[in-house]
Amino acid sequence: MSIFEYNGSALVAMVGKNCFAIASDRRLGVQLQTVATDFQRIFKIHDKLFVGLSGLATDAQTLYQRLVFRHKLYQLREERDMKPETFASLVSAILYEKRFGPYFCQPVIAGLGDEDKPFICTMDSIGAKELAKDFVVAGTASESLYGACESMFKPDMEPEELFETISQALLSSVDRDCLSGWGGHVYVV
Amino acid sequence: MVYVTSQRKDIVRNEGFRTVIIMKIDFSGLESTAPLCGASSEMFDGFSTSPSFQIPDTTDFDDFQKEAIQMVKPAKGTTTLAFIFKEGVMVAADSRASMGGYISSQSVKKIIEINPYMLGTMAGGAADCQFWHRNLGIKCRLHELANKRRISVTGASKLLANILYSYRGMGLSVGTMIAGWDEKGPGLYYVDSEGGRLKGTKFSVGSGSPYAYGVLDSGYRYDMTIEEAAELARRSIYHATFRDGASGGVASGMLCFIMWDQPDGRSYLVMTLGNFTICTIQLNQPLSSRRCPKLEFLCYSI
């Protein structure tokens, strides 16, 4: 088992019609042992920007605290919220700073940009951005999630339908993974 | 002759036939403009100091993280248990098969019938367990034919342990319990692929076994009824599947067969359907006859 599979996680974000949804599982484990069934992996940066952090739980929490700190500084200087594209570049830079001793974390960023245009992206643990127009996945169940999302996704879904789709994709994928599960948190904006 | 491009060349010509060119090597391109140490401070935009990386204190840049990543490999991702009590021997198991982190099946039969009066449990490599249990069944049958009487559980477990010991170190992964009835009453042995063989009254094998032991040890009494023993076994497996990621887990998937055949003719087949129902079937004929014309159902829903 690798360090990315130490705690176990499943994250997915999807794009709908002027909305986005981001979902994660709730299990926190130490290898195979389940330690908690209500662990939070998705954090709010501001009303229209959410970041989910999969991988090692300690790095996820530390990285979240760093990102919130940087965003608050930005808010004080610019007197406005960060755009999702800008935030993604910020996360990428912070991750690459630790190129030779990285955070063992794969972030999933989802937000609404100008005119409520949805934006999602994911990156690997050293900051390689992967932008997508439909969905992004991360975590130990990522291969199952790719398959489930690929078959269930339709473009331009309304929020209710998007919620149903992302929930079903998440639940069916974590059923095939020992290290994630125990329900899910879904945020639809 | 060595050629090095340079801005300055001093050519010295020797007397004789050879020409030697002496170059002054220019290292100006290799000087670093970034300071050697000093991480960028996040309070000052990150721009005030030149970008620099924190280099880890190691000589092997490419592979040092691989060693940090190696964690103990979980062995035998399953939960099986068996215990002897007043009425016989109870055997129970979960039904999840996992390959590393991936769940390959939620409905695996982990209790294998070696012959009509002996059961084996599967933990470790599925192929190894299935093959060697079947092989053991063949050897038991041959023993029966050669000696005109059934092999004892002691003898059967010894046969298996000797076979596994001879393959020791070759990578077999088997953690099994041989449970059954012979002339001395119920018998239970634990046999593993390292060649170990233990006689006992209570065993649990697999990655979920610590959790199962917790419930089993606190609830165990020798004089339980069949229903109480089935309920204890079901609860132990349930709590193990709750905490252990490699034991499953899904309400629709858990199925466990618990059965034994007593020499005086009474037989019981106990099944759990889903996580919460125990169904005990009392058979009027020994199980070994493989025909059960009359069945009385006792169903418990919890």
Distance from CA of B246 to the nearest CA of A (A): 6
Nearest-by-CA chain B residue for A35: B243
pLDDT number for residue A11 = 95
Q: Do B103 and A177 touch (CB under 8 A)?
A: yes
Span of B210-224, B225-239, B271-285 with lowest mean pLDDT = B271-285
CB A26 within 8 A of CB A185: yes
pLDDT number for residue A18 = 92
Crossing angle for the helix pair A57-78 and A84-97, to the nearest 10 degrees = 130
Distance from CA of B99 to the nearest CA of A (A): 9
pLDDT band at B69 (very low <50, low <70, confident <90, very high): very low
- In the predicted model, what is the mean pLDDT of residues B276-293? 45
Q: Residues of A with CB below 8 A from B103's CB?
A: 175-178
Q: Do B71 and A6 touch (CB under 8 A)?
A: yes
Tokens of B135: 């092989």
Q: Residues of A with CB below 8 A from B238's CB?
A: none
Q: Do B53 and A32 touch (CB under 8 A)?
A: no
Out of B40, B102, B243, name the one closest to residue A176 (CB).
B102
| More confidently predicted of B279 and B164 | B164
Span of A20-24, B59-63, B109-113, B162-166 with lowest mean pLDDT = B59-63
Q: Do B245 and A97 touch (CB under 8 A)?
A: no
Q: Is the pLDDT of residue B182 over 60?
A: yes
Distance from CA of A141 to the nearest CA of B (A): 8
If residue B155 lies in a helix (H) or strand (E), which one and from where to where? helix B153-166
Q: Residues of A with CB below 8 A from B44's CB?
A: none
B225 is catalytic: no
Question: Chain B residues within 8 A (CB-CB) of chain A?
Answer: 40, 42, 46, 53-56, 61, 68-69, 71-74, 77, 96, 98, 100-103, 106, 207, 242-246, 249-250
- In the predicted model, what is the mean pLDDT of residues B238-254? 65
Q: Is the pLDDT of residue B43 over 60?
A: no
List, for residues A112-132, the tens digit of each pLDDT value: 998 999 999 999 988 999 999
Pairing assessment for the beta strands B267-273 and B255-261 based on DSSP bridges = antiparallel
- In the predicted model, what is the mean pLDDT of residues A52-71? 94
Half-sphere exposure of B45 (CA within 13 A, CB side): 5
Q: Do A97 and B53 touch (CB under 8 A)?
A: yes
CB B215 within 8 A of CB B243: no
Helix, strand or coil, per DSSP, at residue B134: helix
Q: Is the pLDDT of residue B263 over 80?
A: no
CB atoms within 10 A of CB A44: 12
Distance from CA of A71 to the nearest CA of B (A): 12
Question: For B217-255, b where at least 16 C-beta lie within 10 A, e where not — what string?
Answer: eeebeeebebeebbbbbbbbbbbbbebbbbbbbbeebbb
Residue A48 DSSP label:
T
pLDDT band at A134 (very low <50, low <70, confident <90, very high): very high
pLDDT number for residue B125 = 83
pLDDT band at A10 (very low <50, low <70, confident <90, very high): very high
pLDDT number for residue B25 = 64
CB pairs under 8 A between A and B: 70
Whether a cis peptide bond, with omega within 30° of 0, leads into B200 is no
pLDDT number for residue B104 = 77
Q: Give percent of chain B with pLDDT exceeding 70.
A: 57
**CA dist list (Å): A94 to A64, A107, A109:** 11, 12, 14
Q: Residues of A with CB below 8 A from B98's CB?
A: 178
* Average of per-residue pLDDT values in chain B: 70
CB B117 within 8 A of CB B151: no
Q: Do B40 and A97 touch (CB under 8 A)?
A: yes
Q: Do B101 and A8 touch (CB under 8 A)?
A: yes
Q: Do B245 and A70 touch (CB under 8 A)?
A: no
What's the CA gap between A184 and A167, in Å, rounded?
A: 8
Q: Residues of B with CB below 8 A from A33's CB?
A: 243-245
pLDDT number for residue B270 = 54
A139-143, B118-122, B171-175, range with greatest mean pLDDT: A139-143
Extended strands (E) in A81-183: 105-112, 118-123, 129-132, 135-139
Of B59, B78, B201, B241, the active-site residue reads B78
Distance from CA of A32 to the nearest CA of B (A): 5
pLDDT band at B262 (very low <50, low <70, confident <90, very high): low
Span of A78-92, A103-117, A134-148, B30-44 with lowest mean pLDDT = B30-44
Q: Residues of B with CB below 8 A from A29's CB?
A: 245
Q: Do B207 and A140 touch (CB under 8 A)?
A: no
Q: State residue B115 phi and psi, 5-degree precision.
A: -155, 175
Mutation to test the A interface, candidates B69, B73, B247, most A Cβ within 10 Å = B69
| More confidently predicted of B274 and B161 | B161
CB B91 within 8 A of CB B238: no
Q: Residues of A with CB below 8 A from B207's CB?
A: 32
pTM of this structure: 0.68
pLDDT number for residue A42 = 95
pLDDT number for residue B65 = 55
**CA dist list (Å): B299 to B85, B227, B268, B270:** 22, 10, 13, 10
Distance from CA of B202 to the nearest CA of A (A): 23
